[in-house]
Amino acid sequence: MKKIVVIVFILLFLLRAEAQKTTSFYPFKGFHVGITAQVEYIQKCSFVPYYTYDMFVPKGRWTIGWEAGMEFSYHFAKYFGISAGFNYGTELSYNCDIYLFYLDDLGLVEEYDKLFSLFDHQFILPLKFEFHYPLRKNLFFMAETGIKIKGIVDRLSGNKYSGFGGGYTISTYISKFDTWFSSRYFRYSGVRDVSKIRCEFLLGMGLYYKMPYGDLLRFTAGVNLSFKNIIDGKYIYYHNSEHSGTFSVKNDFIYTQLSYIHTLNWQKANKYLKKQEYSFSSKKERNKKIIELLDIW
């Protein structure tokens, strides 16, 4: 009989202690939804001459791209989570200068000048694994890694290849003949295989900041790496066929991203207060209590 009384007493004590325990509103718990905006600094395209002594090699230039979209995440442990996004933005980008060498009324022109640039945009699906760790009460370190799935729209179109190309024609005015002369000077062409869905690797790190009402701001910086070239092709200077080589484009870039993450914790805290039958004299007083609860984790 005494053993039964002791067991009942322990159970009642544990139930009472559990009832007094306040619900935790840890910011990384359960499902989140957010919006993201990203700026990309994209690696320059590559020109490789067939002959090592060639002085007319075009120069690739760094370009700027962007992405924006929505993110859906689930945090299954205190320090870990997974996410999937639906973005629209730059799929590939390139820009270059070509070497100009010709005669006009002013004499010999010999300089690099901007020739062409291209930007292609499509839907992108990022899939990521995330680690986060508290540095201070409302500040968290985070690191992410994952893949980006690209080319879905191209794959559904049924096409197998997509061509890219362009050229440069020089037009000069010769006063002696009072006329303009035009001649083809430079041309490039390349092909992209759009019959397959592509994956790219991403790796980044940054900081989370928890706002007073429970939502999160995230700043991230990282790198995106392509597993192979997106475009392969050739280039040629028409005035001398020895000035020619290969042309290729990848999608390697450095990115910086700003995200706003809605945690749903404000709604959870409000529901908790209703369940506990708290009474407040005003909405302002209720909101103040919710903010106090959101700091408990």
pLDDT of residue 113: 80
pLDDT in tens, 89-118: 999 899 999 888 776 666 677 788 876 778
Closest CA to 204 of 128, 122, 90, 262: 128
Give the DSSP H/E element, type plus range, for residue 131.
strand 107-136
Percent helix, percent strand, percent coil in the chain, to nearest 5: 15, 60, 25
Residue 94 and residue 210 in one domain:
yes
Question: For residue 293, is it within any domain?
Answer: yes
Residue 247 and residue 269 in one domain:
no
Residue 216 and residue 288 in one domain:
no
Whether 279 has a pLDDT exceeding 90, the answer reads: no
Residue 271 and residue 159 in one domain:
no
Residue 56 and residue 200 in one domain:
yes
∠ CA 20-23-29, nearest 5°, is 160
Question: For residue 178, is it within any domain?
Answer: no
pLDDT of residue 61: 92
Question: For residue 185, is it within any domain?
Answer: no
pLDDT in tens, 111-166: 888 767 788 899 999 999 999 999 998 999 999 999 999 988 887 877 788 888 88
Residue 220 and residue 253 in one domain:
yes
Q: Provide the number of structural domains found in the chain.
A: 2
Residue 145 and residue 280 in one domain:
no
The whole-model pTM stands at 0.80
Q: How far apart are CA 132 and CA 261, in angstroms?
A: 14
Q: How far apart are CA 214 and CA 293, in angstroms?
A: 10
pLDDT in tens, 227-251: 999 999 999 998 777 889 999 999 8
Question: For residue 247, is it within any domain?
Answer: yes
Residue 218 and residue 208 in one domain:
yes
Closest CA to 153 of 191, 123, 198: 123
Residue 233 and residue 297 in one domain:
no
Residue 289 and residue 254 in one domain:
no
Q: Which domain holds residue 290?
A: 265-297
Farthest-apart Cα atoms in the chain, separation: 123
Question: For residue 70, is it within any domain?
Answer: yes
CA distances (Å), origin 261, targets 72, 144, 215: 9, 15, 6
Amino acid at 115: L
Residue 259 and residue 275 in one domain:
no
Domain CATH code at residue 202: 2.40.160.20
Question: For residue 11, is it within any domain?
Answer: no
Question: For residue 153, is it within any domain?
Answer: yes
Question: For residue 137, is it within any domain?
Answer: yes
pLDDT in tens, 38-67: 999 999 999 999 988 888 899 999 999 999
Residue 9 pLDDT grade (very low, low, confident, very high; cuts 50, 70, 90): very low
Residue 275 and residue 153 in one domain:
no
Closest CA to 169 of 95, 107, 102: 102
